[in-house]
């Protein structure tokens, strides 16, 4: 049977990919950020996931403003990355887990979530950068199930809807008959706004509230509206929806926080990494 072993949530700022490519991990600007990841890699080495369900938001590589699914799930045997225009090097193709993908798709549709099924899907920086952060010697020794959430264009799903969607995914994973150790990887955020009058806005207090709530009270985050989140964490801070979805996958009840690192700013973004285990 499939076993959910934990959730890792991490930022996916494109500039991180450039820093990795230029080997700037020890640069004074980047060092506090990259120093946050060795404990995460140690946890991964102890727990050795087979499959990673990546919850992220696509940035135009698969979906653009003219066609933006609320939820999309990949069901391919492998996934390639591609040039997004950021100058970030592409990574080697990553293996998929089509059997688990279809089980999740069928499970969430049975629970009345209408998802877009993608038998071909490219990975953008929201997937490739977290994989490089967790497995810097690459390629990542895991199979991947990509789950894309619309955090880009109104109307986006509410935090409550995302939590319920994640819970439906979690139930589908629990019912999957195949043997696999499954890790949830949520990417994006935290607070940041890249344009407009509030460009550069960061809210450490709300970020801390979000990180705390993800441990033992995700329903608190589900009580916010998307307008609340944008007001409190910036336009692009809506990427917290990915973390909420991932927490839903991890399951109900209090989790145990294994590790947390929070650092500001990285490219005008509040960056964080958090590791949660099921109790």
**Residue 189, phi-psi category: left (phi > 0), alpha (psi -120 to 50), beta (remainder):** left
d(CA 15, CA 136): 16
Q: Which two tokens stand for residue 132?
A: 């490089």
Report residue 258 CA to chain centroid gap.
Answer: 17
Q: Does the annotation mark 192 as catalytic?
A: yes
Which residue is catalytic, options 12, 59, 192, 263?
192
Which residue is catalytic, options 12, 125, 227, 263?
125
What residues have CB less than 8 Å from 97, skipping those under 6 apart?
Answer: 51, 143, 144, 145, 180
Q: Does the annotation mark 263 as catalytic?
A: no
**If we measure between CA atoms, which residue out of 177, 139, 142 comes closest to residue 52?**
142
**If we measure between CA atoms, which residue out of 175, 74, 173 comes closest to residue 122?**
74
Helix or strand or coil: residue 11? coil
Supply the residues annotated as catalytic. 125, 192
């Amino acid at each position: 049977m499939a076993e959910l072993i934990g959730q890792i949530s991490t930022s996916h700022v494109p500039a991180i990919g450039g820093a990795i490519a230029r080997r700037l991990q020890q640069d004074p600007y980047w060092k506090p950020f990259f120093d946050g990841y060795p404990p995460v890699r140690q946890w991964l080495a102890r727990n050795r996931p087979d499959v990673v369900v990546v919850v992220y938001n696509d940035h135009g590589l698969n979906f653009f403003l003219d066609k933006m699914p609320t939820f999309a799930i990949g069901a391919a045997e492998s996934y390639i990355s591609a040039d997004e225009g950021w100058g970030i090097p592409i990574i080697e193709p990553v293996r998929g887990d089509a059997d688990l993908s279809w089980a999740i798709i069928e499970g969430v549709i049975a629970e009345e979530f209408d998802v877009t099924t993608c038998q071909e899907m490219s990975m953008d920086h929201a997937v490739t950068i977290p994989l490089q952060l967790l497995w810097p010697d690459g390629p990542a020794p895991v199979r991947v199930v990509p789950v894309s959430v619309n955090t880009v264009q109104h109307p986006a799903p509410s935090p409550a809807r995302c939590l319920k969607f994640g819970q439906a995914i979690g139930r589908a994973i629990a019912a999957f008959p195949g043997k696999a150790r499954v890790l949830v990887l949520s990417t994006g955020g935290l607070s940041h706004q890249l344009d407009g009058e509030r460009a550069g806005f960061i809210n450490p207090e709300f970020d801390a509230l979000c990180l705390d709530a993800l441990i033992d009270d995700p329903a608190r985050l589900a009580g916010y509206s998307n307008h609340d989140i944008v007001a409190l964490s910036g336009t692009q801070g809506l990427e917290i929806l990915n973390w909420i979805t991932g927490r839903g996958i991890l399951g109900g009840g209090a989790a145990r926080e294994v590790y947390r690192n929070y650092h500001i700013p990285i490219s005008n973004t509040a960056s964080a990494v958090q590791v949660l285990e099921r109790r």
